[in-house]
Structure 1
Amino acid sequence: MKLALFDLDGTLIDSETGIVASIGYALEKLGAAVPPREELRSWIGPPLRMTFPRVLGDDAATIERAVELYRERYSATGWSEHVVYVGVAEAIAALAAAGTTLAVVTSKAALYAPRIVASLPFGAAFARVYAVPPDSAHSEKATMIAQALADFGVAADDAAMVGDRHFDIEGARANGVRAIGAGWGFGSREELLEAGADAIAQTPALLVPLLRARQAPGESACSAA
């Protein structure tokens, strides 16, 4: 495998604290009820413009104001309120040592993603960070994965996408890229399997063996449970 693409939130870092606190800040400023924390966990991954309507309705101006308020807090402190998952640094180091090109493909806004990746102890291992424009209302995973394949000149069957939500899996499959579920993240095992994950690593320690294996799509999807 020549190219490994990684999601950010829920895959490289546990960013729940900063994201949930910033969502709550925005909703409180708008006088809206804040859903339970467990429900807000499901908001981690999709773009804000896809999730705020769950509480605020479809009024475009209100949604944009919520996004502004979220970014107000997230830009100040929320972006740094995360921890690296145990075992991720070792997995990244092993892949880099093997000569695998690494890149981040995230639905997080480009306002923050490069800064967050650069702050990680292993951030320099990533050749590029793909993130969505600030005004985007879509995940754009498929588009970014396609761009990464083109940028690095790597064929789809020599690449893999690692992520914890269905957006990651669907984006990979749209490009014929091997889709590896990060079972330690915010998405459920069922979500990853339903999206068509080729395999699921339940812990970062199991990730490198899966990436080195060359199972056919759909084969042994539970092998690293």
Structure 2
Amino acid sequence: MFQSIIFDLDGTLIDSRAAILDAFGKALAARAMQPLIALSAVRIGPPLAETLRELTGSSDPALLDSLAEHFKAHYDSTGYQASEVFAGIPELLEALAATGARCFLATNKRYLPTCLILQHLRWQKYFEAVYALDRETPRLPDKTAMLAHLVAEQALDARNSIYVGDTPEDEAAADANGLPFAAVGWGYGSFPATGMRCLATPRELIAFLTQ
């Protein structure tokens, strides 16, 4: 059994797609802008600034900062509450808590709304610590650096720890840090090139993590 389990959030534990796309739509509307790509085609998971650049085709810091503030004003007030929990995840978290495993979150979502979501769902008790790119100063560049920081700060043994996520980017970040990786099949990513076996349900994930 793994002693430490690190989870991605969006696409792994919660379905935040509708809430995030709504906040992007409201941010663009506030600046009377139309997205370059359909909102329905937006990838869920990358950092906010990256997605705003993709939606606008702009690298203008002033514009991106303005859009980010509009996004945050909606998402951080009430928008985050529209996130939905994937079926079977509460049972997963309860099962892991019963084993005594140390659980952590490592997400590209900003730190503030991540904490708000945990409070809203009453999930704080399940996670020993939460890691996000903007939790650190200076901001961490990517998830690979975030996992490295988490492993070092928490003094984890990579051989007995695992990262659970839903995208090839999550897999790459785990590999770069020598962490085993568990791919879930109910999220936003796919693993066609890697041949990665995806766990189809949270029940399968429980069995895998506690074997």
Instruction: Assess if the C-alpha contact under 8 Å between 1:101 and 1:126 holds in 2.
Output: yes
C-alpha separation in 2, matches of 1:139 and 1:108 = 13
Structure 1 contact 47–137 (Cα < 8 Å) conserved: no
TM-score (norm 1): 0.83
* Aligned match for 2:198, one of 192, 197, 200: 200
Query: Residue 109 of structure 2 corresponds to which residue in structure 1?
Result: 108
> Match for 1:65: what amino acid?
S
Matched ranges for 1:1-225 at <5 A: 1-34=2-35, 35-40=37-42, 42=43, 44-56=44-56, 57-133=58-134, 140-190=142-192, 194=194, 197=196, 199-213=197-211
Q: Is the 8 A contact 1:169 1:179 kept in 2?
A: yes
- CA deviation profile, 1:93-123 (whole Å, cap 9, x unmatched): 1112112110111111112112212322443
- Secondary structure of the 1:180 match is strand
Matched residue of 1:95: which SS? helix
The one-letter amino acid of 1:94's match is A
SS, match of residue 112 in structure 1: helix
The alpha carbon displacement at 1:142 in A equals: 1.6
Corresponding pairs, count = 207
CA distance change for structure 1 residues 27 and 139 in 2, over 3 Å: closer, same or farther? farther
Q: Which gives a bigger RCO, structure 1 or 2 (Cα 8 Å, sep 6+)?
A: 2
Q: Distance in 2 between matches of 1:180 and 1:158?
A: 13
Q: Unpaired runs of 5+ in structure 2?
A: none
Shift of residue 140 of structure 1? 2.4
Instruction: State the alpha-carbon separation in 2 of the partners of residues 138 and 154 from structure 1.
Output: 19
Q: Is the deviation greater in 17-26 or in 118-127? A: 118-127
Give the letter for the 1:168 counterpart: D
Q: TM-score, normalised by structure 2?
A: 0.89
Corresponding residue for residue 219 of structure 1: none
**SS of equivalent to 1:52:** helix
Which shows bigger deviation, 131-140 or 148-157?
131-140
- Report how far residue 205 of structure 1 moved: 1.5
Q: Distance in 1 between matches of 2:190 and 2:39?
A: 16
Over the residues paired in the alignment, what is the CA RMSD in angstroms? 2.2
Classify the secondary structure of the residue corresponding to 2:187: coil
Are 2:143 and 2:170, in contact at CA under 8 Å, matched by a contact in 1? yes
Give me the whole-angstrom Cα distance separating, in 1, the residues matched to 2:160 and 2:31.
Answer: 47
Deviations 1:129-163 (A, max 9, x none): 11121798876212222222223322111111111
Distance in 2 (CA, whole Å) between partners of 1:13 and 1:85 is 5
Q: Which runs of 5+ in 1 are unaligned?
A: 214-225
The answer to whether the 8 Å contact 1:110/1:131 transfers is yes
